[in-house]
Amino acid sequence: MERVLLRRAIIPVGGVGSRLYPLTVDTSKAMVRFLNRPLIEFIVLNLASQGIREIYFGVSGYTNYVQLFDFFGSGEGVTAKLGMGHEVRIRYMPNYNTRGNAEAVLVTARYYEIRTPVLIVQCDDVIDIDIAAFWRRHRRCGGVMTIALKEIESAEELRRFGVAELGEGGVIERFVEKPRRPEEAPSRLVNTGAYILDTRAFIGFFDTERGRRLLAAGALDFGRDVIPAMIEEGYRVCAYEMRGYWYDIGTPESYREAVFTLLKTLPPDELRVDFVYGGLKMMGRRELSRRYQRRLVARVERGEVVIEGDVLIGRHSRIGKGVRVRDSVIDHYVVVGRDAVIEDSIVMDRVNIGKKAVIRNSIVGRHVTVDEGAVVEDSIIGDNVYIGREAVIKSSRIWPHKHVLPRTTLIGATIT
């Protein structure tokens, strides 16, 4: 068996995630809650479980850095969660102003004197990639870079991505970036943002005339700027056609799609679920959690609580009598009052939902109060929002820390 030498990964973490507003108004997009944990933890644990031992965050911006460092530190928690004998180290790019994900990788590789091949993944991509197979493809193709491509079924979806045109031997000849019409796309294979990169060649490219021009212009996005330039300059860039799932968590719609698809398809261990009863999946393994899990199942069996479809409930959350939950995610420390309804929704941690409140087809941020009798439908609620008693919120977005007065009606509103 071929030895896998890939042990390092760089994850660029930049920008403000404006397409995910209001969820990312004051939260790094890497730290948005995803299946009851930060999105980036989902990514990091996947990499570490496949042999990545050093992870470098190419961090831009104060919020991105502070929230990631406060959560991960130097990586000790990753090692503990996986129960591994080998330590996983996490390091951070110093406070340099970078102008794109490619520059974040360049600065990080130079600063830490990385001269071995590295895996690059994006902080807002949930990707099921076989790193060993990816590495074998890279070695056999002999390029300076190998890009993980995913075949997209929907022709309309092609307009969101860079679409690859392949030549002989699976070498990428060019990308058509975000084709306006499906017929302009040379294939259905799109750039996932996952790369294996020869860092020596990558650093060397920026010492060429073309590379220096990109640096001077600040044109330093991998997909839009750097990869097309490297291909045009004759660098061998190879394709790896991946088979697993991939979600670009760039919008609330793609975020919801990823959450609900993986909720239905991932096995309990990958969801970090400790208790399963039909479609009900519950987190928590200590005796206190076990007691509540058994108590909730007994209430379901007596018909006092209705659980329909696939439902994920986090640790130490409490579901009141008469509650109905369908196809939803409820995070840790959530309190749901009597006779409330939650359907097709994501409710983040420490939310308090009053009795007879209704939440449908919505995303509710962290530390939110939805008071008694309030209705939230087809909406996105930012962190630390108060929604007053019997308020009605439909097709709206509410920024963090806002206070919605009782009996207010908002339809199609954006409260910033």
What is the mean predicted confidence (pLDDT) over 79-105? 86
pLDDT surpassing 60 at residue 4: no
Distance CA 381, CA 22 (A): 7
What DSSP element (H or E) covers 109?
helix 101-111
Q: What is the spatial distance between Cα 109 and Cα 8, in angstroms, rounded to a whole number? A: 11
Proportion of the chain above pLDDT 90, given as a percent: 87
How much is the average pLDDT of 321-342? 98
- Mean pLDDT of the region 49-53: 93
The structural domains of the chain, ordered by start, are: 8-263 (3.90.550.10), 275-415 (2.160.10.10)
Distance between CA 37 and CA 181 in Å, rounded?
37
DSSP 387-405: E-TT-EEES-EE-TT-EEP
Q: How far apart are CA 409 and CA 392, in angstroms?
A: 5
Side-chain half-sphere of 279: how many Cα atoms within 13 Å?
A: 15
State how far the Cα of 242 lies from the Cα of 190, in Å rounded to an integer: 11
Amino acid at the residue 119: L
pLDDT at 2: 46
Question: Among all chains, which residue has been given the structure tokens 């379901």?
Answer: 300
185 and 179 in contact (C-beta within 8 Å)? Answer: yes
- When mean pLDDT is compared across 153-167, 212-226, 260-274, the lowest value belongs to 153-167
Closest CA to 29 of 43, 50, 48: 43
Distances (CA, A) of 1 to 35, 132, 139, 242: 35, 11, 13, 20
For CA atoms 101, 128, 40, 71, give the dihedral sign: negative
pLDDT tens digits for 175-194?
888 888 877 888 899 999 99
pLDDT, tens digit (0-9, with 9 covering 90-100), for 349-387 = 999 999 999 999 999 999 999 999 999 999 999 999 999
How many CA atoms lie less than 13 Å away from 237 in the CB half-sphere? 26
Q: Give the distance, in angstroms, between the CA of residue 369 and the centroid of all CA atoms in the same chain.
A: 25
Q: Decide if pLDDT at 3 tops 60.
A: no
Tokens 């339809």 found at:
411
1, pLDDT greater than 70: no
- With 0.75 as the threshold, say if the pTM is over it: yes
The rounded percent of the chain whose pLDDT value lies above 70 is 98
Q: Which of 151-160, 244-253, 264-273, 404-413 has the lowest mean pLDDT?
A: 151-160
Confidence (pLDDT) at 83: 67
CB 163 within 8 A of CB 185: yes
